[in-house]
Amino acid sequence: MRKKVLIVDDDPDVIMFITSLLESGNYKMIVAKNGEEAMAKVKEDKPDLVILDILMPKESGIRMYRGLKTTEYLKNIPVFIYSGISKRTFLRSQATLAEFGGEAVPEPEAYIEKPGEPEDILDTVRELLYQGSSSS
């Protein structure tokens, strides 16, 4: 069965870049333009991996990530953050939200700051999709 990858980014150029990178992998690619739309697609399509931007309209990747990792039946979906926002800021913002009464969330499974090298992105996707099983 084809693995499903949800790409969440408001920049059409980034979506095109990632989809063309992953084309050779025979993945089923789903696209969302913001956190709100992405959460609906996660619930509907149950992707095997979420590639997530942070700074987006409507709902940021920070809120969407929290929603994902604090929902029992979704929290095991691996999240690969691909964003211009630094990992340090991401972790600090999650810590602040936890401090103000939110639930603590784990670190994302992978984090690459834009612009990422195509090979690094591909390797990360393969690793997250096939960790614990033999790579196809």
Contacting positions for another protein (CB under 8 A): 34, 54-60, 62-63, 84-86, 89-90, 92-93, 96-97, 99-100
Nearer to another protein, 74 or 97 (CB): 97
Residue among 49 and 85 whose Cβ is closer to another protein: 85
Distance CA 54, CA 85 (A): 7
Closest approach of Cβ 49 to another protein, in Å?
23
The residue among 53, 62, 52, 117 whose CA lies nearest residue 89 is 62
Structure tokens of 51? 């590639």
CB nearer another protein, residue 2 or residue 92: 92
State the SS3 of 48-71.
CEEEECCCCCCCCHHHHHHHHHCC
